[in-house]
A and B are shown apart, each in its own frame.
Chain A
Amino acid sequence: MAQGVWTIAEEREGEIRKVTYEIVSEGRRLADAAGQELTVVLLGSNIKDKAAELGHYGADKVLVADDAKLAPYTTDAYVSVITELVKANDPAILLISASVQGKDLSARLSGSLDVGMAQDCTAFAIEDGNLVATRPIYAGKAYANVTFENSWPQMATARPKLMDISEPDTSRSAEIVDATFSLDESVLKTKVVEVLKDESGKIDLTEADKIVSGGRGMKGPENYNILEELADLIGATVGASRSAVDAGWRPHSDQVGQTGKVVSPNLYVACGISGAIQHLAGMSTSKVIVAINKDEDAPIFQKADYGVVADLFDVVPALTEEVKKYL
């Protein structure tokens, strides 16, 4: 019978990414609830020295797949190795982050393992030893609780930033095991030929702890500097509504919403954004939502923890000044 909770670590250039700690921590909680072991699969090239740390976050075992062909991530290589390891070890639950990489990987694994898959979940539970996943659907207009049938492992991805990272416990250690796998060159059909780094040093919206977003109410691209100033001060990333993006004021990569990024920061400040359902779809799992809008009937106020009914061009600069008192 299928046994054990597995999570897949995510690395970039030899460093473990934060989403890994989120799913390892969540994996630990689920493993405890199910009375099972937690295995983290770590794939990469010369990556073994990163394995021990995963033990501090609750891994009982780290299965290391070390191969030059496993860095940087390609769907082909990862799917080949993970499929082989899963088939050989028969885990009961497979948890992956719903990062860009995780979404790509999990969707393909669903095909290669012939299993059901719950994408971008916001919560998990164990009931009668089985995984129950909660996920927003229809852009968050409804939530679905899902389980699996005749489908092992039970596979799901977790929306980034929602799973609490456990305090690392250095007294815990994991058994570190070299995975045995065959990775045939012939499966590698795609190749990363170039990595274009975002030189701005700005934290990606999906990873940001704080976001200050501007919509059509910003009136033009030149006015975003007032958001940048506030954002720089509080360590936030600037986002935008689709109207602002479609107007050409901000790049596509800044768009939050149903056809943009799904974000869950600790603080989301919506400035001059009406709160259309498609925008809410991208940010309603934020912890604290602030809305600054001069129209008191704007739908965004129904989602906001703190609403400020005023002209943003007065409030935002004043807020920047006020915030300085607390920093």
Chain B
Amino acid sequence: MNIIVCLKQVPDTETQIKVASDSKSIVTDDVKWVMNPYDEFGVEEALRLKEKFGGEVTVVGLGPKRVTESIRTALAMGADKGILISDDALEGSDSLAVAKALAAAIKELEYDLIFTGQRGVDDDLGIVGAACAELLGIPQMSIIVKVEVAEDGKTVKVTRPVEGENLVIESSLPALITTQKGLNEPRYASLPGIMKAKKKPLEEKTLSDLGLDAAGFGEGGRKMKIVELTPPPARAAGKIVEGETPQEKAAELAKLLHDEAKVI
């Protein structure tokens, strides 16, 4: 069973985000770049399926050279090979353009399953996976917490929590699955894993390698335009609830919630 994991590099969730002077991007100087946490679930699930069914796990990342580091992390966790799609013309591409480039690279590979994160914790969009599945003409199952591939490796059954219920969905393969927390606990890369990763194949591809015309990519190809980034809207300063004892504070809080906030 051959599995592809799409890997996005994002700022570590602890990173302070500052809007740059152009008001359209963020200051990236102090950003620590990491693998999107949802993609860690994808790598882990792919490795578990490989352990059961055999086959290969290929990690595909798109972005600047620094993405190599996150691909190496996935290789150290146990993935077999990496592909980095990197091209200056990709800078500033929107989700749809990223999906097109990923789909072009994936088309050349043999695969039964593709994992992507349910969303990147940078732009919080959650578009690339589904758009990629559409472009590849395969079904997608999003926001998945459980994956069971049939013994014959031909179909998959997944669990998808929706508001108030869990749906069990069955699909033929190949298919694309977007990962949600709860799917698994991603492993850490072991020291021997890290050593081995250095020797694993990591191929780099440009847009022209993929037979794509640079015109549809980058800032100019964006269909969703960023007009402006702003700091989050300020919340009105809160009140510290007064009182000598916890009982008094509780009484005061209940009163405020009823009289002032009118929520109880």
Q: Interface on A for B, CB 8 Å cutoff?
A: 72, 74-76, 79, 99-101, 103-104, 106-108, 110-112, 114-120, 132, 135-151, 189-198, 202-204, 206-207, 210, 234, 252-253, 255, 258-260, 266-267, 277-278, 284, 287-290, 301-311, 314-315, 318-319, 321-323, 325-327
User: Which residues of chain B are within 8 angstroms of A193 by Cβ–Cβ distance?
Assistant: 157, 168-170
In the complex, A13 Cα to B157 Cα: how many Å? 22
Whether B161 is near chain A, meaning CB under 8 Å from some CB there, is yes
Closest residue of A by beta carbon distance from B139: A189
A142 and B163 contact, CB distance less than 8 A: no
A277 touches B222 (CB 8 A): no
Contacts A190-B171, A193-B168, A306-B253 known; list 17 others, CB within 8 Å.
A76-B139, A79-B134, A103-B142, A110-B131, A111-B134, A112-B134, A139-B13, A145-B228, A148-B225, A234-B264, A259-B37, A259-B38, A289-B235, A305-B235, A310-B246, A321-B250, A326-B258
How many residues on the B side are at the interface (Cβ–Cβ under 8 A)? Answer: 86
**Contact status of A116 and B222, CB under 8 A, knowing A191-B170, A315-B246:** yes
Whether A267 and B253, one on each chain, are in contact in the complex, defined by CB atoms closer than 8 angstroms, is no
CA distance A193 to B13 in the complex (A): 36
Bound-state CA distance A203–B246 (Å) is: 30
A118 vs B229: C-alpha distance when bound (angstroms):
14
Query: Chain B residues with Cβ under 8 A from A111's Cβ?
Result: 96, 99, 130-135
Give chain B nearest CB distance to A45 CB in angstroms.
Answer: 16
B195 at the interface (CB under 8 A from A): no
Query: Known interface pairs A141-B17, A207-B163. Does A322 touch B253 (Cβ–Cβ under 8 Å)?
Result: yes
Of B49-57, B65-73, B106-114, B237-245, the stretch lying at the interface with chain A is B237-245
Q: Tell me whether B192 is interfacial, beta carbon within 8 Å.
A: no
B164 close to A306 (CB less than 8 A): no
Tell me how far the C-beta of B230 lies from the nearest C-beta in chain A, rounded to whole angstroms: 5
A209 to B125, CA, bound (A): 25
